[in-house]
Structure 1
Amino acid sequence: MVRTVKGNWLIRGRDGRLGVYLPTDDAVLYRAERVPGGPWESPRKAGGDQTLHAGFGVGQGPDGYAHLVAWRPTPAGGAELVHSTHFRPLLAPLDWTPFGHPNKDADRTGDPVVAVDVEGRAHLFVRNRGKGVSMRNQKERGGLNAWHDLRGSKVQELIAVTGESGRIEVYAASPTAILRWYQQEPGRRPVAADPLPVTIEPGTLAALPTSKEHTTLFYADPEGMLYAWRPDAGPRALLPVAGPGPVTVLRCDIDGHDCTLLAQRSASGRVAFAAYPTEQETAGLWWTESGPELPEGTRVALAQDATDRVVAATLTPDGTLRVARRKDEPGLALEAWRTV
């Protein structure tokens, strides 16, 4: 597996500092602002000196704490999932603790994803050996519940998200449909919903809570059209993708309007942005490019800083981190990108 990162690797901690999680071949690194809006500290290794496989998942709970999940090799030649919690950007994350494997003694089966419920409990989801979806979550009073098979078929990739209601939703792409599981009540085990019969371009799933009632799923089809979908209606075409790879999404205030902001590395190599009023896909949107040309494989992330200004970050395959903030003026213009 490659250095896949599932989830938003740029987050704002409870103290307002921005932090990032960076993949390497055998570890997860983290960096944070020393003070909100100030200089950044050097990268440090998360979770102690344990050796990991490349790639990880990250999720942030309503309490602001981040949860990391990754695979690590076992002495028998297989792999097991491990979990770490990060309480403050400038404090070290907790040591990696085992979550096990849905198929007991086996190798890696897929990229893990994590969502955090309103009680701060991590819910881990991963494709199992049968190409369905398995989950395991933390108990209310410590410890772990047993692995549970959510089923599913021919799953290719997963994402998980916690809605504004506090309920967790899970989406999976298969060759002929998008599969969905959702909690009917916070704390309950997710149940399967009707699949959406579409064909998607691999690696393009993204999800964003857009109201108390809804999470909006974004995906691209093989022809390069980007769609937004909420389960109470059919998918809506937004605009052609700016380039290959995933789209990053953020809900934010732009000039007093509740907006959904999208960002993606464009075909030219620059970062492209588009925005529209949240849940008003018919309003129309278009891409505007920003910053330098960046190499293939560059990751893009969005967050809001301690003053709620939009912040965009890019991470190139060689580990170079660049950050740009929205200017303090109307519109969505960004300040100059800077390397940190």
Structure 2
Amino acid sequence: MNGDRLLRGRDGRLSVYQLSGDALLCRAEREPGGPWTTPRTVGGEQRLHPVFAVGQGADGYAHLVAWRPTAKGESGLVHSTHFRPRLAALDWNPIGHPDKKGERTGTPALAVDAQGRAHVFVRGAHGGVSLLAQKEKGGWEPWRDLGGEDVQDGLAAVTGESGRVELYAAAPGAVLHWCQEQPGARPVLTESRPAPVRPGTLYALATSPGSTTLYSTDTSGDLCAWRPGGRPVTVLPSAGYGPVAAVRCDLDGHDCTLLAQRSSSGRVAFAAHPTELESAGAWWTESGPRLALDARVFLTVDEDDRVVAATLSPSTGQLLLTRRKHEPGLALEAWRPV
């Protein structure tokens, strides 16, 4: 997963993570497709900064990482594991700072490998990327410097179908890619590709057994797709200025990638194309009500393999949800508040 906040647990229930003040909350379905619980605090009473990352492994467990204040002018990262949406998550566990100590350095990104080991990536004060990885039998490896220069905030971590962890980042005029050469290995910087990327627009998705795809918006406003080893290609003009969300799904028997973004009109825009065939074309279709400026869109599929979309606004706390109807095409149910 790529830092998404809408997840499907191993029991089929959907859950959503959201910030509220200095706490992280979780809401979950009481049963798949059923009513939702009221928000519950994740990880105990630890006070948090308003940034966090979520990653999910093949076992369905959710891993969460956030920054917390530790002393005046200093912060540290904390980690929690949430095994099932309706159970309490583990208490926050301190995991340190990429520069040993100091203020927070960037928004963390998180991916979980095939063995269930969380990999936490964060920009360091030196402008490169640092990694903290779990050991397979508990505990954490030491912080490692993965290199990079002038890396911008908004890293995108993803686990490929191979189970190996990859990372994408933007730097001035370029996109960067790190990949594990084998499970458990330190990711290495494999490519730096010239590309005029808008900071904060990166989203990575596993799209085939051997590839992951990075979606980003370039400085001209086009939504682009890039797979390492090739060149970035334009998919279509972006619908708005915020980040895009993506999910692979079956649409009438075809393996497709569905994109969603808050449009410039304030509504949610959807577009789909055959997976890894961006040249087939795509176009936006808007749906739902107008949303707050800070609203984000998240996508997943439920236990019936139906697409589920959610919007969440940090300023209002409003959570809206829709599902694909049981009919051909991409017809959606009416958006409803949760």
Query: Would you call these one fold, judging by a TM-score over 0.5?
Result: yes
**Residue identity in the other structure for 2:266:** G
| Pairing partner for 2:11 from 4, 12, 15 | 15
What code does the residue aligned with 1:195 have?
S
Report the counterpart of residue 333 of structure 2 in structure 1.
335
Deviations 1:45-92 (A, max 9, x none): 100001111110111111111100000111354111000000001001
> Does the CA-based 8 Å contact 1:272-1:288 persist in structure 2?
yes
Amino acid at match of 1:84: S
Secondary structure of residue in 2 paired with 1:243? coil
**Aligned equivalent of 2:265:** 268
Give 1:103's aligned residue: 99
> Which residue is equivalent to 1:120?
116
Aligned to 1:199: 196
- Aligned residue identity for 1:186: P
Partner amino acid, structure 1, of 2:79? H
Query: What are the ranges of 5 or more consecutive residues in structure 2 without an aligned counterpart?
Result: none
CA contact (8 A) 1:261 1:273 kept: yes
SS where residue 103 of structure 1 aligns? coil
Given candidates 46, 49, 58, the residue that maps to 2:45 is 49
For residue 176 of structure 1, report the CA deviation from its aligned partner. Answer: 1.7
Partner residue, 2:247 = 250
Distance 1:264 1:236 in 2: 18
Return the offset for 1:308.
Answer: 1.0
- What is the rounded CA distance, in whole Å, between the counterparts of 2:225 and 2:73 in structure 1? 41
Provide Cα deviations, 1:290-313, integer angstroms capped at 9, x if missing partner.
Answer: 001112110100011121110000
Deviations 1:127-146 (A, max 9, x none): 00101100011111211110
| Number of the residue aligned with 1:301 | 298
1:311 paired residue number: 308
- Contact persistence 1:24–1:55 (CA under 8 A): no
The residue correspondences of 1:156-167 to structure 2 (distance < 5 A) are 156-157=152-153, 158-167=155-164
Between the aligned partners of 1:302 and 1:262, the Cα distance in structure 2 is: 8
Name the stretch that deviates more: 175-184 or 74-83: 74-83
Aligned mates of 1:62, 1:306 — CA distance in 2: 14
Alignment partner of 1:196: what SS?
A: strand
User: Which piece of structure 1 moves more, 190-199 or 73-82?
Assistant: 73-82
Contact 2:177 2:228 in 1 (8 A): no
Of stretches 68-77 and 160-169 in structure 1, the one that deviates more from structure 2 is: 68-77
Q: Would you say 1:286 and 2:283 are equivalent positions?
A: yes
Q: Secondary structure at the match of 1:238?
A: strand
C-alpha distance in structure 2 between counterparts of 1:318 and 1:271, whole Å: 17
Q: Is the 8 A contact 2:321 2:336 kept in 1?
A: yes
Distance 1:328 1:143 in 2: 45
In structure 2, which of residues 228, 232, 237 is the aligned counterpart of residue 231 of structure 1? 228
**Aligned: 1:148 with 2:144:** yes
**Deviation beyond 3 Å, 4+ runs, structure 1:** none
Superposed displacement of residue 198, structure 1: 1.0
SS of 1:64's partner is: coil
Aligned length: 335
TM-superposed CA distance for 1:33, in Å, is 0.3
Select which of 86, 91, 109 maps to 2:82. Answer: 86
Confirm or deny: 8 A CA contact 1:178 1:195 kept in the other structure.
yes
Distance 2:139 2:72 in 1: 25
Unaligned runs of 5+ in 1: 1-5
Cα distance per residue 1:115-169 (max 9 Å; x no partner) = 1011111110000010110001111121111010001110112110000010110
Q: CA deviation at 1:228?
A: 0.6
Aligned residue for 2:71, secondary structure, equals: coil
Please give the alpha-carbon distance, in whole angstroms, between the structure 2 residues aligned to 1:243 and 1:181.
Answer: 28
> Aligned ranges for residues 18-33 of structure 1 at < 5 Å?
18-33=14-29
How far residue 204 of structure 1 moved from its aligned partner, in angstroms, is 0.8
1:321 corresponds to which of 319, 322, 325: 319
Offset from partner CA, 1:187-229 (integer Å, 9 cap, x none): 1110111201111111110111000000011111111011111
CA–CA separation in structure 2 for the residues paired with 1:176 and 1:261: 27
Residue of 219, 222, 226 corresponding to 2:219: 222
Separation in 1, partners of 2:242, 2:151: 18
Partners of 2:191 and 2:306 lie apart in 1 by: 38
State the distance in 2 between where 1:25 and 1:150 align: 33
Could you say what secondary structure the match of 1:71 adopts?
strand
1:40 pairs, out of 36, 43, 47, with 36
Aligned counterparts of 1:191 and 1:16: Cα–Cα separation in 2: 35
Instruction: Please report the TM-score for the alignment, with normalisation by the length of structure 2.
Output: 0.98
Instruction: Work out the CA distance in 1 between the residues paired with 2:207 and 2:139.
Output: 32
Which amino acid in structure 1 is aligned with residue 11 of structure 2?
A: D
Answering whether residue 89 of structure 2 is matched by residue 74 of structure 1, we say no
From 178, 182, 187, the counterpart of 2:184: 187
